Each structure stands twice: as structure tokens, then as C-alpha cells.
């Protein structure tokens, strides 16, 4: 059992890393998007009133502005606040917020647990009585993030399930996979709660499990703890088949689509890519489209 859980955990992490890497590379190789032309763009100097650099005389002579801190601040607010949902439907926003915080804290719980295992293997005591600030802090974060993630995971996913089953405007857009996801996260959260309760309100056993993974000296687990470890590994394998990758792809949506205002300058890399894409053949039909021809032919035909 112990060897199986260790190997399964290794494979789960390898799988999610490979799967997400393949997906990201695929997205990066996709054709250049159609420009949105939506303003204001976050990095514009005149962003606060909706302006843009085209208002300036000889704007093409000045470098394009960059405001990375402002963009990251906006993204952080978008990830942690969900303002759009709050304005449209406060009840749905509340349970959506809980479920997302549960997911984010679950990932954070994994990170601090692994960090705790690394500290412990390097001689730093990781518990509430640790003389080392790093060991004490990691222990507190591990306890807090684990407990809160399981609590919000149960409340948020159960609330979303009930809303999507009882409201027609939500039910018609809900797939069986989404229902499965809600109950999977609820089961995982309950398993985490039971393991935490069974071990005397402590997650140190999970840190020791990770120490065993690093040293190849696998620790013995109770049935309750083993079930939680199994679900955690299964969760990693499950994620690439869900919409969870939107935590990453939203970065592409903002930086490479919504805020991308790179000009098409003669001789630039962008011009080369656009020229290449003009030679793509059209494989769909419409009254105004020349099916089977290239986009270059289409443009020339339409003048």
C-alpha cells in the first residue's frame, strides 16, 4: 500500500506537469489572435481616463508604455475578487468564491507541506514549538491552509451544485463533468477533514509522507490517511481534463490578447507570422468566403 501510494503520487505529479506543458505549448503555437481594439489598455499612460498613446503627436516615435505592476495588480484583483460575478449575481459569486479559494488554498497547502518536508530533512523542526521561525511559520501555514481549504471546498462546491441543480438559467449550461467535479472536490475535502481529525487536528503526518517521498523511505499510513493521499494524487491526474487550466490561460487572454497592442511594423517578427498565416487555406464556407483558397486570395479578391 505504501509503495503504491508513493509511486502513484510520483506519477500524478509527472502527469500533470507533462499535460499542462503540452497544453501551454499548444496554446503558444496557435495562430495570432484577431486584435480586440478594446481600450483602455492596462499599460497605457492615460489608462485612468480611457486614453491611449495614439492621442499624442508622432506617437509612433515614442516607445510603447509598459506598466507590469499595474497589470499584475489588476490580475491579482481579478483572481481573488471575481468582481464581474459579484455585480451580476451575489449568491452565485459567494459560492463560486468559496470554491475557488478552496482550490487555491489546496494548492498552497501542497506547496507549504512540501516546503515543510524539505525544511525538516535539513534539520529544521517543523511544529508549533519549533525554535526556528521558518519551521513554526510553515507549520502554521500548513495547518491554516489545509483546514480552510477543506472547509471552503465543501461549502463552495456543495453550494454550486445546489444552485446549478435548482436554477434553470444555470442548469442548462452545466455539464455532467462539472457535477462530477463538485462531488469530487467535496469528497476530497471531507477526506482531508477526517485525516486531520484522526491525527489529532494535525497535518504533520502528511509532511512526513512527503519526507518519505524525497528519501525513498515510504512511511506507513492509516486507511483514512491513505485514502486522502490517493485522492490528492488522483486530483492531479484529473485536473488537466477540467477547466482548471484557465488559471494559466487567463494570463494568455490578458497579456497576449486583451492587452496586446504590438504594432505590425515592416520587417518585424509579427509581420513574418502574419504573412505566413495569410497562406493558410480556408476550410469553412460562407457567402462571403472563398472556401479552399488562402486568406491572401480572399483579401485580394475583396480588394
Boundaries of every domain in the chain: 2-31+67-258, 269-302
Give mean pLDDT, residues 221-250. 91
Question: In 3-state terms, what secondary structure has residue 41?
Answer: coil
* pLDDT for the residue 1: 66
Say if residue 97's pLDDT is above 90.
yes
* pLDDT for the residue 36: 66
Q: What is the pTM of this model?
A: 0.84
Give me the phi and psi of 294, to 5 degrees please: -85, 165
Does residue 1 or residue 166 have the better pLDDT?
166
pLDDT class of 137 with cuts at 50, 70, 90: very high
* pLDDT for the residue 263: 77
Are 172 and 151 contacting, i.e. CB atoms less than 8 angstroms apart? no
* pLDDT for the residue 215: 94
pLDDT class of 60 with cuts at 50, 70, 90: confident
Please state which CATH class domain 2-31+67-258 belongs to: mainly alpha
Say if residue 303's pLDDT is above 80.
no
Residue 267 backbone zone (phi > 0: left; psi -120 to 50: alpha; other: beta) = left
Does residue 142 or residue 200 have the better pLDDT?
142
pLDDT class of 187 with cuts at 50, 70, 90: very high
Judge if the upstream peptide bond of residue 263 is cis by omega within 30 degrees of 0: no
* pLDDT for the residue 161: 97
Say if residue 40's pLDDT is above 90.
no
* pLDDT for the residue 120: 96
Packing angle, helices 90-121 and 176-198, rounded to 10:
50
Say if residue 199's pLDDT is above 80.
yes
Are 52 and 41 contacting, i.e. CB atoms less than 8 angstroms apart? yes
Give mean pLDDT, residues 179-205. 94
Amino acid at each position: 500500500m505504501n509503495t503504491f501510494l508513493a509511486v502513484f503520487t510520483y506519477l500524478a505529479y509527472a502527469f500533470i506537469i507533462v499535460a499542462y506543458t503540452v497544453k501551454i505549448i499548444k496554446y503558444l503555437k496557435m495562430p495570432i489572435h484577431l486584435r480586440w481594439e478594446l481600450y483602455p489598455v492596462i499599460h497605457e499612460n492615460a489608462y485612468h481616463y480611457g486614453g491611449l498613446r495614439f492621442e499624442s503627436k508622432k506617437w509612433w516615435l515614442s516607445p510603447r508604455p509598459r506598466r507590469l505592476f499595474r497589470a499584475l495588480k489588476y490580475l491579482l484583483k481579478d483572481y481573488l475578487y471575481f468582481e464581474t460575478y459579484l455585480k451580476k449575481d451575489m449568491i452565485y459569486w459567494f459560492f463560486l468564491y468559496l470554491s475557488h479559494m478552496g482550490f487555491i488554498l489546496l494548492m498552497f497547502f501542497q506547496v507549504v507541506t512540501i516546503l515543510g518536508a524539505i525544511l525538516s530533512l535539513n534539520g529544521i523542526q517543523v511544529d508549533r514549538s519549533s525554535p526556528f521561525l521558518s519551521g513554526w511559520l510553515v507549520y502554521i501555514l500548513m495547518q491554516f491552509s489545509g483546514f480552510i481549504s477543506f472547509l471552503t471546498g465543501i461549502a463552495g462546491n456543495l453550494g454550486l451544485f445546489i444552485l446549478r441543480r435548482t436554477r434553470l438559467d444555470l442548469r442548462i449550461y452545466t455539464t455532467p463533468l462539472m457535477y462530477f467535479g463538485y462531488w469530487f472536490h467535496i469528497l476530497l475535502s471531507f477526506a482531508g477533514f477526517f485525516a486531520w481529525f484522526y491525527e489529532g487536528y494535525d497535518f504533520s503526518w502528511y509532511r512526513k509522507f512527503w519526507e518519505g517521498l524525497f528519501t525513498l523511505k515510504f512511511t506507513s499510513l492509516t486507511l483514512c490517511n491513505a485514502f486522502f493521499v490517493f485522492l490528492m494524487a488522483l486530483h492531479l491526474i484529473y485536473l488537466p481534463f477540467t477547466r482548471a487550466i484557465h488559471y494559466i490561460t487567463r494570463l494568455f487572454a490578458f497579456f497576449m490578447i486583451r492587452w496586446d497592442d504590438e504594432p505590425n511594423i515592416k520587417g518585424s517578427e509579427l509581420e513574418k507570422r502574419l504573412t505566413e498565416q495569410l497562406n493558410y487555406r480556408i476550410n469553412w464556407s460562407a457567402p462571403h468566403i472563398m472556401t479552399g483558397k488562402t486568406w491572401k486570395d480572399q483579401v485580394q479578391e475583396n480588394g
